[in-house]
């Protein structure tokens, strides 16, 4: 696997994101969007905790899949796991549902988000 140096990786991740410079409170590397900086910090904490929890859930799904298909699981099996297409799609859908449910409050009052409306933690198609 070709690993990019941090500078190149940051450059590639930033491509196409110039529009954020026009957002209120933008400051390279540390944007502020709320009058009270503590709210920005709390939002960052919530986003990071959500990401960490997804990692745990992802690993749990992989562990359960390996146990169901191989009858055993080792740390190496988890780290080298390559998801079959149908399992990968199920994981993508689980992640979409998780993110929508966890962060629905960020969308409340903004209006419909694409084809979905968020109500009481459940995704309802329009």
Measured at the CA of 125, the angle between CA 94 and CA 85, to 5 degrees, comes to 35
pLDDT at residue 87, rounded to an integer: 95
Asked whether residue 5 is domain-assigned, the answer is no
Is 19 part of any domain? no
Q: Are strands 116-119 and 122-125 parallel, antiparallel or unpaired?
A: antiparallel
Strand, coil or helix: what is 117?
strand
pLDDT digits (tens, 9 = 90+) for 41-86: 888 898 899 999 999 999 999 999 999 999 999 999 999 999 999 9
Integer angstrom CA distances of residue 96 from 23, 72, 77, 82, 90: 26, 28, 25, 20, 10
pTM of the model: 0.60
The tokens describing 54, both together, are 């997804």
Domain count, the chain: 1
Predicted confidence at residue 13, as pLDDT, reads 66
Is 13 a member of any domain? Answer: no
Domain hosting residue 95, numbered range: 35-125
Task: Report the percent of the chain where pLDDT is more than 70.
Answer: 67
DSSP state of 80: T
């Amino acid at each position: 696997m070709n690993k990019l140096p941090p500078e190149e990786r940051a450059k590639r991740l930033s491509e196409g994101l110039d529009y954020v410079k026009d957002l209120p409170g933008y400051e390279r590397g540390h944007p502020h969007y709320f009058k009270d900086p503590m709210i920005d910090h709390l939002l960052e904490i919530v986003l990071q905790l959500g990401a960490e929890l997804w990692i745990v859930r992802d690993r749990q799904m992989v562990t359960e899949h390996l146990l169901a298909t191989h009858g055993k699981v080792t740390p190496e099996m988890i780290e080298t796991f390559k998801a079959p297409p149908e399992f990968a799609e199920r994981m993508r859908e689980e992640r979409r549902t998780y993110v929508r449910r966890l962060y629905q409050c960020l969308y409340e009052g903004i209006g419909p988000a694409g084809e979905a409306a968020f109500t009481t933690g459940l995704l309802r198609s329009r």
